[in-house]
Amino acid sequence: MRNLFERINTLFGNWYEGLFGTGGELHPREVLRRLVMAAEEHCIEGLDGELYVPNRYKLEIALQNPEEQEAYLTFLQPQELADALWQELQQEGYRLRGGIVCEVVAQPVAPANAPRQALRITARFDPSVPLPITSPTPGFMPVEEATNIASTPVASTTDVASGVASRAVLKSEDGKPLLLLTNRPVIIGRSRNAGCDLVLDADRQISRRHARIEWDAVAGNYVIYDLQSTNGLYVNEQRVDNRVLRSGDRIRMGKTVLVFEYTEPPAEKREAPAAEAISSRPAAFLTLHPDTPQQEVIPLPSEALIGRALTADIVLEESEAAMRHAVVRWDGKQWLIEDLGSASGTAVNDSRLSPHKLLGLHSGDIIRVGKTTIRFDIKEP
């Protein structure tokens, strides 16, 4: 299991720490690790020489405290476990005879002094469950068709999706073009299932969503942001949270080095008029659980999705948060927040937002998503 702990940490990050502590048999990272172990324990070599693992898993939870047990049953969502396990098994090169199904069930409360096993996992093969037909998310490819996207040279200087000519390109260390950069933000990471524009799946030290590059139209340059990666982002061997990119800059993520080059000269620096100076995007942050031991400060890119989905920019692991709950974005003039039609709603300073209606944010505003409190702050220049 190559670098399994690092990959699990990348999948779940620190989002569960305030809820479940840093360890334990039922910590979500430990649950995923146990699932992978159960798969490998029941691995069978097929007649084709490939290694096949079970596709149906039953997780039985037995805790003394009914409230604690109910909390785990709420947070250990079967579909999310199945999706995460699917990714892990694919990355290890295992094959499946059927789609993955995870079932999470509660066991009757055991007597106080009786021996118990908080988590018991059973695995079996069930070919009656159909395999996913096509890509569940953008960028996903079945094992049989998968190639390292990073090794495929780029032939065009126009972004096919937008039709906009590229201003810059990311190249490998040996000079192969890997990704054209235009006006739209791009995500670089290791996972094909996390909306990455450039997938670097050969380097296990790279996080699923490691970095984001954006075009700043006002300043006329590209900016790279670290997306809370496990092993950090380096530009010219200096660790950075964000950095304006210059032609020739060497970007390192894990063991992988990318070279940033302009395909057209950047606009000459000029004194911005007052109106443009006002619209230049100020650095902003979201602080989860402010003024508590679980406080976590997250720098904002120009747009950040908040929700329960593992592919969200800011993941909230709580039952009242929707998969895609809200989005915070910079519109060129101000920071805005929008509720994406969530069931439990989004509130700013205790005022509930109307779904799909934009609201301007001010430094110090308190955002509530489900039961999670988030503070919005703008960094003073």
Tens digit of each residue's pLDDT (9 = 90 or more) over 244-278: 999 999 999 999 999 999 876 555 444 444 334 33
* Per-residue pLDDT tens over the stretch 124-159: 998 888 776 433 333 333 333 333 333 333 433 443
Instruction: Give residue 183's pLDDT.
Output: 78
Q: Which of 9, 4, 46 is nearest to 28 (CA)?
A: 9
Q: Which of 206, 176, 178 is nearest to 191 (CA)?
A: 206
What is the value of pTM for the model shown? 0.40
* Per-residue pLDDT tens over the stretch 190-209: 876 666 789 898 888 898 88
* Dihedral, 75, 78, 84, 86 alpha carbons, nearest 10: 170
**In whole angstroms, what is the distance from residue 261 CA to residue 150 CA?**
16
How do the domains of the chain map onto residue ranges? Answer: 26-124, 168-262, 284-378
Domains 26-124 and 284-378 share a fold: no
Q: Which residues pair with 13 in a beta bridge?
A: none
Nearest-5° Cα angle at 89, 87 to 91: 70
What residue has token string 């097929």?
Answer: 46
pLDDT reading at 282 higher than 80 = yes
Q: Which residues pair with 223 in a beta bridge?
A: 214, 244
Instruction: Give residue 114's pLDDT.
Output: 52
Q: In the CATH hierarchy, which fold is given to the domain comprising 168-262?
A: Tumour Suppressor Smad4 (2.60.200)
Q: Which residues pair with 328 in a beta bridge?
A: 304, 337
Tokens linked to 338: 């929008």
**In whole angstroms, what is the distance from residue 306 CA to residue 321 CA?**
9
The CA-atom distances, in angstroms, between 198 and each of 2, 83, 179, 208 are: 22, 21, 7, 11
By three-state DSSP, how is residue 39 classified?
helix
pLDDT reading at 368 higher than 90 = yes
* Per-residue pLDDT tens over the stretch 11-36: 444 434 444 443 445 666 678 888 88
User: What average pLDDT is seen over the chain?
Assistant: 76
Q: Which CATH architecture has domain 26-124?
A: 2-Layer Sandwich (3.30)
Q: In the CATH hierarchy, which fold is given to the domain comprising 284-378?
A: Tumour Suppressor Smad4 (2.60.200)
Nearest-5° Cα angle at 77, 74 to 78: 135
